[in-house]
Amino acid sequence: MAQIPAGRLMGVTTVDQGPSRDALLDALRGVIDPELGDNIVDLGMVRSVDAHADGRVEVEIALTIAACPLRGQIQDDVTTRLGALPGVTSVDMRTGSMNAEEKSALMSRARLKAQEDKAVTVDFPVTARVLAIASGKGGVGKSSVTVNLAVALARLGFVVGLIDADISGFSIPRMIGLDGRLRGDDDRKMLPMEQKVGEGLLKVVSKGFLADEEKALMWRGLIHHRALQQFLEDVTWGDLDYRLIDMPPGTGDVPMGLARMLPRAEVLVVTTPPIAAQKIAGRAADMFRRAHVRVAGVVENMTAFECEHGELYALFGEGGGDRLAAEIGVPVVGRIPLHPAMVGSGDEGKPVAYGDDGPLAQAFTQLAARVARDIAPVVDAASCTARLIDDIERRLGEA
């Protein structure tokens, strides 16, 4: 949790205890190169990192190819993670291009890593963004936000995968109005349920789409963990721009284990306006940080409700979203008003985000636009490290 150092409260700019070298490197180990699947410290991409007495941190990152479109993602991640450390007031990041020696060290490390990971089959494109939607407790509207964000992103033309990872409280099938059983493909992997949405497409997996016997096993917790892992690994996703994960609520073993399986994910923490809720959501944010997963933003749900006469009803108080965002050093990326239409639409399986007007539809369109801008799928990764790998392989082949 980002604490304000006592020195700053008294108007003094020196920080008594800046982050240690270990803390800096630990934070940077949370930054995963999306293509190489390993962290930037062990890949040798961190040339230097220094914390100054005034809370400023200077960091230099060597990139494989300076013009790589994935650079923005790495850059955001470095700044957020270092910026969230206690005592850090600003982050100065410089990037440079790797020299030949650095590149070849990086490639051998990446190869080693690829060999170690052989057992894990990850079938989804590196360009897809993974968004975990989390909350400190149930009932804050996490699933409602996940489903409607998925629909709103699909309406923008994206292909959106949706994993219902709240195994014991699954609700996605009902909310999204899909029914049926998951089929397997020739590789004995699951095929997600598909639903066309405007120009886009939803691909959904949920316990709700499994056979009753399988569900019974999951209820008893026997294959809880394995079920989640299957949803992550044993699904043939095909093309994908986003993969949204409706996380189990809280900070127990199941969400923590799942967080560890998602090094490349970005988290949206859903909270409600009361200050008490902000504390609980803060614990969830902290859990992700410990698992080195980046929190990208806060979504405040059940925000003040505006009646037809333009009067605002802050039924559940206000400020929780802003407080939480300030505390963890990320923006509030969406505010979803408290509105009775949300309840009916969830029960009928017609997400409000299908609508063209009304406060709820508008709020989700705005949230989706913000996500599409801040956490954009990578359009052209061909110019990134993939190209570098190709180059090296080719040269090795020629030699």
Ligand X SMILES: Nc1ncnc2c1ncn2[C@@H]1O[C@H](COP(=O)(O)OP(=O)(O)O)[C@@H](O)[C@H]1O
Nearest distance from C-beta of residue 383 to ligand X, angstroms:
39
- By a kind-dependent CB cut-off of 5 to 8 A, residue 135 interacts, out of Mg ion, ligand X, none, with ligand X
Tell me which stretch binds ligand X (CB under 6 A): 22-30, 72-80, 250-258, 340-348: 340-348
* Count of residues of this chain found to bind ligand X when the rule CB under 6 A is applied: 17
Residues 6+ apart with CB under 8 A from 92: 56, 57, 58, 59
Out of 171, 195, 251, 271, point to the residue binding ligand X (CB under 6 A): 171
Token pair belonging to 266: 């970005």
Question: What SS3 state is found at 12?
Answer: coil
Among positions 273-302, residues that touch ligand X (CB under 6 A) are: 301-302
Nearest partner of 193 among 152, 242, 223, 160, judged by Cα = 160
For position 44 contacting ligand X by CB under 6 A, the verdict is no
- By a kind-dependent CB cut-off of 5 to 8 A, residue 343 interacts, out of ligand X, Mg ion, none, with ligand X
- By a kind-dependent CB cut-off of 5 to 8 A, residue 339 interacts, out of Mg ion, ligand X, none, with ligand X
For the chain, the maximum distance between any two Cα atoms, rounded to a whole number of angstroms, is 76
Out of 61, 65, 210, 336, point to the residue binding ligand X (CB under 6 A): 336
Tell me which stretch binds ligand X (CB under 6 A): 46-54, 97-105, 137-145, 252-260: 137-145
Tell me which stretch binds ligand X (CB under 6 A): 55-63, 115-123, 325-333, 342-350: 342-350
Q: Which residue stretches of 33-125 are H helix?
A: 71-83, 100-116
Cβ pair 254, 262 in contact under 8 A: no
Among positions 104-163, residues that touch Mg ion (CB under 5 A) are: 143
- By a kind-dependent CB cut-off of 5 to 8 A, residue 139 interacts, out of Mg ion, ligand X, none, with ligand X
Q: How many CB atoms lie within 10 A of CB 355?
A: 18
Cβ pair 294, 27 in contact under 8 A: no
- By a kind-dependent CB cut-off of 5 to 8 A, residue 24 interacts, out of Mg ion, ligand X, none, with none
Nearest distance from C-beta of residue 148 to ligand X, angstroms:
9
Among positions 165-184, residues that touch Mg ion (CB under 5 A) are: 166, 171
Q: What is the DSSP secondary-structure string of 172-225? A: HHHHHT--S-PEE-TTS-EEPEEEEETTEEEEEE-GGGS-HHHHHHHHTTTTHH
User: Which is closer to ligand X, CB of 19 or CB of 250?
Assistant: 250
Residue 89 to residue 56: CA distance in whole angstroms: 6
Tell me which stretch binds ligand X (CB under 6 A): 12-20, 205-213, 216-224, 341-349: 341-349
Among positions 140-159, residues that touch ligand X (CB under 6 A) are: 140-144
Residue 230 to residue 111: CA distance in whole angstroms: 25
- By a kind-dependent CB cut-off of 5 to 8 A, residue 302 interacts, out of Mg ion, ligand X, none, with ligand X
User: Which is closer to Mg ion, CB of 250 or CB of 334?
Assistant: 250
Residue 132 to residue 292: CA distance in whole angstroms: 13
Residue 136 to residue 250: CA distance in whole angstroms: 4
Nearest partner of 270 among 127, 128, 176, 147, judged by Cα = 147
Site of interaction with ligand X (CB under 6 A): 135, 138-144, 171, 301-302, 336, 338-339, 342-343, 346
Site of interaction with Mg ion (CB under 5 A): 143, 166, 171
